[in-house]
Amino acid sequence: MSESQPIKPPLTLYLAAPRGFCAGVDRAVQIVELALQKWGAPVYVRHEIVHNRFVVDGLREKGAVFVDELDEVPDDRPVIFSAHGVPKSVPAEARRREMIFVDATCPLVSKVHVEAERHHAEGLQMVMVGHAGHPEVLGTMGQLPAGEVILVETVEDVARVTPRDSERLAWITQTTLSVDDTAEIVAALQARFPAIVGPAKDDICYATTNRQAAVKAIAPKIDALLVIGAPNSSNSRRLVEVGRSAGCAYAQLVMRAADIDWRALEGIRSVGVTAGASAPEVLVDEVIAAFAGRYELTVELVETARERVEFKVPRILREPAPG
Ligand code: 10G
Ligand code: SF4
């Protein structure tokens, strides 16, 4: 007599699109892979190339060595700067040591660096909306001399800003912030400093904006939301917050399928799945497979935008290695 399988409960999984790798992450990972091909191992990388352990471990296996600071890199090995950007002092030091370095800063982060420099050249002091201690914030603030960029994280912080001259101010933002929270902070800045100048909307990138919009679109349909991403990934954490603000009572960040708290999901009929900009699609597949193992699963794609953005790798990696 054959033992009958337990009946799986039905579950609809709404898969957000766009999700996962953005063009800047794709380029940064390619940069490390091409550098390993061109120069051989070890190639050093300052900071996690993107905030995902799975990606970092994969590159480490191929010969990348991840370090926190440039002084951990020998002069005679190539070094790559992470996608989040670096303070000006970092490439300056690499140049001084005559190192081979490749900057994997996303072009959309570099664009904010240029914006900050332009305002500074016009004599404006900067207010940056961002998260203290995040590498992108350290990198962007590090484009200008100390004291030229004031950081605000919340609407409350705006009241505490003490600029040199409230008539000569500009604002910039981190690229991975919550679109809605940032709009409130910018409105508070404009209310307090009517002369402040800034970008047309904000500096939040297309990928961050699109992933948040996709979460908003699935939120009304789902009993729970899982965001695949790392705890130190700013954009991934914002997706969890966006899910909660959009009315999803259970929204959780998971690195991969093994992190899913199945107890917490008991009784759900629908789940939303998305992935932060640094989370590879194999981890999405893994999560879907884990649901398929426990539920009679129907997967529905909810696509709110199509992305066609691509960034070229730096020229040095498009040229063959000499002789
Ligand atoms: O979301 P953050 O900035 O923490 O980074 P990430 O590595 O998780 O995702 C890619 C985004 C960047 C490289 C920052 S622009
Ligand atoms: Fe570039 Fe946006 Fe991706 Fe950051 S999240 S790497 S700014 S595309």
- Beta bridge partner(s), residue 126: 149, 170
Asked whether 208 lines ligand 1 (CB < 6 A), one says no
Integer distance in angstroms from the first to the last C-alpha of the chain? 70
Per-residue pLDDT at 4: 73
Concatenated DSSP letters of 149-185: EEEE-SHHHHHT---S-TTSEEEEE-TTS-HHHHHHH
pLDDT digits (tens, 9 = 90+) for 81-105: 999 999 999 999 999 999 999 999 9
Atom of ligand 2 nearest to the CA of 235: 5
CA nearest neighbour of 311 among 19, 142, 53, 110:
110
AA letter at 106: C
As a CATH number, domain 23-106+310-318 is: 3.40.50.11270
Q: What is the pLDDT of residues 174-187, one digit of tens each?
A: 999 999 999 999 99
Q: How far apart are CA 48 and CA 46, in angstroms?
A: 7
Q: What is the pLDDT of residues 259-295, one digit of tens each?
A: 999 999 999 999 999 999 999 999 999 999 999 999 9
Q: Please determine whether the domains at 10-21+206-303 and 23-106+310-318 fall in the same fold group of CATH.
A: no
* Active site annotation includes 48: no
Q: Contact, 13 vs 34, CB < 8 A? A: no
Q: What is the CATH number of domain 114-192?
A: 3.40.1010.20
Whether the CA torsion 185, 219, 235, 111 is positive or negative: it is negative
Radius of gyration of the chain (CA): 22
Q: Rounded to whole angstroms, how far apart are CA atoms 245 and 239?
A: 10
Confidence of residue 107 (pLDDT cuts 50, 70, 90): very high
Mean pLDDT of the chain: 97
pLDDT band at 57 (very low <50, low <70, confident <90, very high): very high
CB distance 234 to ligand 1 below 6 Å: yes
61: which DSSP letter?
Answer: H
Q: Is the pLDDT of residue 2 over 90?
A: no
- 81 contact partners, CB below 8 Å, separation of at least 6: 46, 47, 90, 91, 101, 102, 103, 104, 105
- 5: confidence class by pLDDT, cuts 50, 70, 90: confident
Identity of the amino acid at 67 = V
Task: Give the number of whichever ligand sits closest to the CA of residue 236.
Answer: 1
In the predicted structure, residue 166 carries a pLDDT above the cut 90: yes
Cα 300 to Cα 12: distance, rounded to the nearest angstrom: 7
Per-residue confidence band for 319, with pLDDT thresholds at 50, 70 and 90: confident
Q: Is the pLDDT score of 189 beyond 60?
A: yes
pTM of the model: 0.97
Grade residue 50 by pLDDT with cuts at 50, 70 and 90. very high
Ligand 1 touching residue 51 (CB < 6 A): yes
Note the pLDDT tens digit of each residue in 123-151.
999 999 999 999 999 999 999 999 999 99
Give the phi and the psi of residue 295 in degrees, each rounded to 5.
Answer: -130, 160
For residue 106, the model assigns a pLDDT of: 99
Average pLDDT over residues 150-163: 98
The answer to whether the beta carbons of residues 175 and 205 sit under 8 Å apart is yes
Average pLDDT over every residue of 286-307: 98
Q: Look up residue 264 and give its amino acid.
A: A
Helices and strands (H and E) in the chain: how many: 10, 12
User: Which residues partner with 299 through β-bridges?
Assistant: 13
List, for residues 216-239, the tens digit of each pLDDT value.
999 999 999 999 999 999 999 999
Structure tokens at 201: 């909307």
Q: Report the atom number in ligand 1 closest to the C-alpha of 278.
A: 9
DSSP state of 7: P
Per CATH, which fold does 10-21+206-303 belong to? Cobalt-precorrin-4 Transmethylase; domain 1 (3.40.1010)
Show Cβ contacts of residue 124 under 8 Å, excluding neighbours closer than 6 positions.
Answer: 168, 169, 170, 197
47 CA distance to ligand 1 middle (Å): 12
Domain spans of the chain, in order of start? 10-21+206-303, 23-106+310-318, 114-192
